[in-house]
Amino acid sequence: MYDWEEKPELNVTPLVDVMLVLLTILMVTTPVVLYEENITLPSGSITKAINKLPKIEIRIDANRNIKIKKSKYTFSNFTDNFVLYSQNLDKKTPVYIRADRKLLYNDVIYILKSVKEAGFAKVSLITDV
């Protein structure tokens, strides 16, 4: 006679054995598999020298006196003088503005705006800590 109250048991041991064997195979073969992607690197020119653009450094002291190299300018007429100064310069030349801490924010931004209006795109503010 058949006992309807008896519950069947699942034997998972063979399943676990097979999975462990597959995992071992995967772990052994994964480091051996090589992935290669072909890339083409650009060829450089040895004969062409890099042209290093000179930089322009604008210094502003606490009394609002502006100095570019050895030339001195006043704050009130800086814009016109800078346009004249930069006529023969390349507009890709980097411009660095170094200002005194005691200056007002508006004064520094005025100089920055004047340099940008003269056509220079690479303008940076230098801060010393």
Residue 66 in tokens: 């502006």
Give residue 40's pLDDT. 84
Contact (CB, 8 A) for 65 and 98? no
Contact (CB, 8 A) for 96 and 126? yes
Q: pTM here?
A: 0.57
DSSP 14-54: HHHHHHHHHHHHHHHHGGG--------PPPP-SSPPP-PPP
Contact (CB, 8 A) for 67 and 59? yes
Q: How confident is the model at residue 5 (pLDDT cuts 50, 70, 90)?
A: confident
Contact (CB, 8 A) for 115 and 95? yes
Per-residue pLDDT tens over the stretch 82-128:
999 988 888 888 999 999 989 999 999 999 999 999 999 899 998 76
- Write the burial class of residue 17 (CB in 10 Å: 0-12 exposed, 13-18 middle, 19+ buried): exposed
- Domains, the chain, in order of start with CATH, read 56-126 (3.30.420.270)
Q: How confident is the model at residue 45 (pLDDT cuts 50, 70, 90)?
A: low
Per-residue pLDDT tens over the stretch 76-89:
899 999 999 988 88
